[in-house]
Amino acid sequence: MTGFGQASWQGEGKRLSVEVRSVNQRFLDVKLSLPRDCQAWEPELKELVNGLAERGKVDVTVYRSGASGEDFTVEANEPLARAIVASWRKLQKSLKLPGAIDVGMVMSRGGDLVRVTERRADTGADLPRVKKLVAAALKDFNAARDREGKSLQADMLARLKAMQGLHVALQKRTTALVPELARRLTERVAQVLGKGVVSEERLVQEAAVLAERADVTEELVRLDSHLERLAELLRQKGSVGKAIDFLIQEIHREINTIASKSADLEVTNLTLRAKGEIEKLREQVQNIE
């Protein structure tokens, strides 16, 4: 499920902020992005994030600006510099070389004359504050997901209601198929062979055989059960995305079987409408945890 949350703090010449965002994904993938000098915080912050979600790609980013967490010292190696200058002067005197020895010449000949030392400031004092910001951002993040969840629930309940209506229509239509098949068969035989060639009783028997082959009573019973379970899941709290995803597959299977068994145009049209609703449900369930 998509979502976004953020929290920030500013003071003491610096600013700390946390952002939590997620996009849809079949499995859970949580990633923390921290400033370079705050990498040691990752285990403690991950504890706060664990259990946040069960599906989706979740990114938690901590920003730190203002007061630097790093400091540098530059030290000159004076004994080495003196030794280099002395050696040059000795060589200059010995060889009677003109010119002056300056800093540029010394620096170009001594790679270890200047040493830069990085001193990292203690960032541990910021960790408690960052943990509070992470908790606040997660709260904001969950609130956004709750709003989206309610919208998804309303849409899916509406599609469920449409599916229930189609189920009722399929029941009515399939129940009426036996006399309809008998009528069609009688008309067809009369057109081909003429009236009175085949007895009414035989025609009814043949129509019953055709109706039995097209019987979808079991499929409709299972479909009704699946729709009832879907209604329960859509009103249930907690992580239901995977259960709904599986249930929609079962609903689709029953509709496919009903469509394949019946050659009736009205039943075909009803199953096509049902497949359209199922496809919409399938798209929406990808956004549910």
Q: What is the pLDDT of residue 163?
A: 95
Go through the domains of the chain in sequence order and give each one's CATH number.
3-67+123-141 (3.30.230.70), 70-120 (no CATH), 148-285 (no CATH)
264: Cβ–Cβ under 8 A, 6 or more apart, which residues? 173, 177, 180, 214
Q: What is the pLDDT of residue 272?
A: 95
Stretches where the chain sits below pLDDT 50 are 69
Q: What is the DSSP string of 20-60?
A: EEEE--SSEEEEEE--GGGGGGHHHHHHHHTTS-SSEEEEE
* pTM score of the predicted model: 0.61
Q: What is the pLDDT of residue 35?
A: 86
Q: What is the pLDDT of residue 174?
A: 82
